Chain A
């Protein structure tokens, strides 16, 4: 029973079927049909919770390419399960939302096919144990993301955003693939679990660090970590359900998942610890800092997503210390808290960011803009949306009574732990971790406040809005309302999630921590973490109120030295350089192309002949010369050379006739009567054909090419002739294989013909001869139609 593999394949099958049955549904929205898939899968994965939380794991293997170690191996453990639940759960909500969000003029079958394609790919990423299979699904998520960002492809920005996301994430994907191959060359396996077991022996291998950084590059590009974050704000051109689903809840967490999955492989290494932690912290700060200056609500949420992803990433970095081999059991448990917090915050982020994206989508949908300079005072018009946005923002800012508070507190605990970790040099530099964590959290508070106060409070500006705002249909409110409910429920019953999902998932990141998994508590007493939260509220409020006064610091940053400019300029230069290069040799001039072809022939064929030592001239096998043959050779050589110098086209064609008829003579001398006859006929017809054509063509002009062109052509021609001669002589001098022609000498017995050549053409290779007739026929049709075809004349044709 390949149940889990079928679960991965189901969305793919549905994606293929949906466009086919779309027209038969009548008025039923195709989204309802698409909804059945994630709902069924969500139930399927829910069903596995009891077994997983009891410590079981499930493995299924479908042989694919066993000789190279590539099999469709799926592995369902706590970590995969939590991701799978996010993918299918959020997927269900987003599809409900999208049914009401998208207009009937949008191409719905495309949308749901892409969305299901993504869902299947993403499930494949989180359930694959085999790295090559994981890689294939990984790139499929990039492709489906590309398709969904460019869903409104008539917009220039959508196409640009889709291209940017594809270029950056696929670049990272390639790096990751290289990393996977290095891991394979070290350990000899593509299975993540096997690699985790075996790689400890290879810590000093020269490929260890390259593999680590290449895998991280894949994770960082996918999860929009600094400085690869630039694609995520541009990806906001996608429809809002896509932003909520791919670009905040699931796909951007693929990088997080990858880092979590590879913590047992690389964790406990100081390079891994510092890279993941610092990249995460820088991203956390930079995302939060830039979110504040945004005026587009979705761009603000995009930067906030970048920032939150950085937070989760840094937690995974801190948590990787648990894998350090010299740890005591208590230290492992203590450091494992960070990984636990990462998982917890990942779930929380999906809930609150999903709710916020949907709320912003409602504002956009109902009001016609999401520019905060035009918004304000919407609380009275959109009370439900307002409530949802407040709950989401509170969670994002880490305020009490919502789930974000719990994971934020754990984040502070983990960052403070770095102070007395005494590992990897944290004694010297560890203090920057809580400092950045706290500063970024203040900024997070500020932008969370901006969302609420700039959109829903203040003066309503009807003159700047296209529509009078009213609450949307219930279908758009239900999904974010469910998420809001979860946000609050998770605060009061966090251990429901913690014990049944987070704890088994944690043992996927930190194997052997089972007993030491933390218990989530809201109240710890007056500990530093609490004072940090209090300070955030105080400083955050001050900063929000004085926003106008300090906002000018953003203008201190040069606007033309950003990573976006770097990307845009690189792309532009790349395009210019490649078009310059291509135009420099694709000239549209046929003789140039012929020159490339013949030069290439001389270099490759002649070069191979000389450098491989195949050049070998042995004249001893030659048959004897006779005077006729020598005369014919001299005649042909002179005729050929004379063609080059003749001034009249008629003499040129007659010289060509001399060549043709001389060859017929050669055929006679070389015992080939059939060839001689054919050649005589064909040569006669060809000469006549040339002469007829000349009647319609202008007289030869003298070649007026510049001298260097003529010299170049002469060199190519001479070396080409020389190459042919040398190859011919070398081939003639050795006898590598026995001739196969003896077979045909039984032609009378085999084919009933005494003329061997005729027997070959008419019997042994009769099909070839038939097709030869077809070629003649096609050429005849071509000739006929070229003569008869009349092209409609354009008025300003350059006919002279």
Chain B
């Protein structure tokens, strides 16, 4: 199972990097969103999958899955949402000001 997920993480990462390397601002933002998906899956997998029950005390079990990665991911989901929202608005504003969403055209002058 873990192997399969890690391969999926690799595919997601490759797609994300390709999108981030794009000239189009929206593709770039989409790339960062996918990259955070990939990272969340990777962190969860590193803690081991399905080797216990839900980490809620009181369940009739002695072994729980690793709760620490879950806590980390919960934070990461929220932060990545904040970042995505911010750069989306940044893209919107950049388009308003510069009239383009092409990074090649946004390139600054030499003396900037």
Contacts and interface: CB of A to CB of B under 8 A. Distances in A.
A69 to B, nearest CB: 46
Contact of A640 (B15, B44, B70, B83): B15
A748 B49 CA distance: 24
Nearest to A690: B88
Contacts of A701: 24, 102
A625 interface: yes
Nearest to A663: B37
B47 to A, nearest CB: 7
A679 B108 CA distance: 38
Interface string B1-42: 111111111111111111111111111101001100110111
B24 A671 contact: no
Contacts of B17: 598, 713, 716-717, 720-721
Contacts, number: 272
A260 to B, nearest CB: 51
B97 A761 contact: no
A643 B55 contact: no
A800 interface: yes
Q: Is the interface of A mostly helix, strand, loop or mixed?
A: helix
B49 to A, nearest CB: 5
B41 A713 contact: no
A519 B92 CA distance: 89
Interface in A650-668: 652-653, 656, 659-660, 663, 666-667
Given A622-B3, A670-B65, A786-B90, A725 B9 contact: yes
**Contact size class for B?**
35 or more
B82 A779 contact: yes
Contact of B7 (A700, A725, A779): A725
Given A693-B88, A779-B86, A671 B5 contact: no
Interface stretch (A166-174, A235-243, A332-340, A728-736): A728-736
A587 interface: yes
Contacts of B22: 591, 703, 705, 713
A739 B66 contact: yes
A757 B70 contact: yes
A698 interface: yes
B26 A621 contact: no
Contact of B14 (A673, A721, A745, A798): A721
A782 B79 CA distance: 14
Contacts of B25: 697
A718 B17 CA distance: 8
A732 B11 contact: no
A700 B26 contact: yes
A424 interface: no
Interface string A360-385: 00000000000000000000000000
Nearest to A760: B71
A726 to B, nearest CB: 8
A686 B55 contact: no
Interface stretch (A121-129, A481-489, A528-536, A764-772): A764-772
A744 interface: yes
Interface in B46-74: 46-58, 64-68, 70-71, 73-74
A773 to B, nearest CB: 9
A588 B92 CA distance: 20
Nearest to A659: B37
A760 B42 contact: no
B15 A641 contact: yes
B13 A696 contact: no
B81 A682 contact: yes
B82 A775 contact: yes
Contacts of B27: 652, 700, 703
Contact of B107 (A588, A698, A744): A588
A741 B66 contact: yes
Contact of A786 (B21, B30, B45, B89): B89
Contacts of A675: 44, 70, 73-74, 77
Interface stretch (A95-103, A267-275, A294-302, A630-638): A630-638
A463 interface: no
B46 A718 contact: no
Contacts of A697: 25-26, 91-92, 95, 101
A644 interface: yes
A703 B49 contact: no
A460 interface: no
B74 A589 contact: no
B13 to A, nearest CB: 4
A504 to B, nearest CB: 61
28 contacts: A590-B106, A594-B20, A633-B5, A636-B8, A644-B15, A656-B30, A656-B33, A659-B12, A671-B65, A675-B44, A675-B77, A678-B74, A682-B78, A686-B81, A696-B96, A700-B24, A717-B15, A721-B13, A721-B15, A721-B17, A728-B42, A729-B3, A741-B66, A745-B64, A775-B79, A775-B82, A779-B83, A800-B99
Interface of A: 587-591, 594-595, 598, 619, 621-625, 629-630, 633, 636-637, 640-641, 643-644, 649, 652-653, 656, 659-660, 663, 666-667, 669-675, 678-679, 682, 685-686, 689-690, 693-694, 696-698, 700-701, 703, 705, 713-714, 716-718, 720-722, 724-725, 728-729, 731-732, 739-741, 744-745, 747-748, 754-757, 760-761, 765, 768-769, 772, 775-776, 779-780, 782-783, 786-787, 789, 791, 798-800
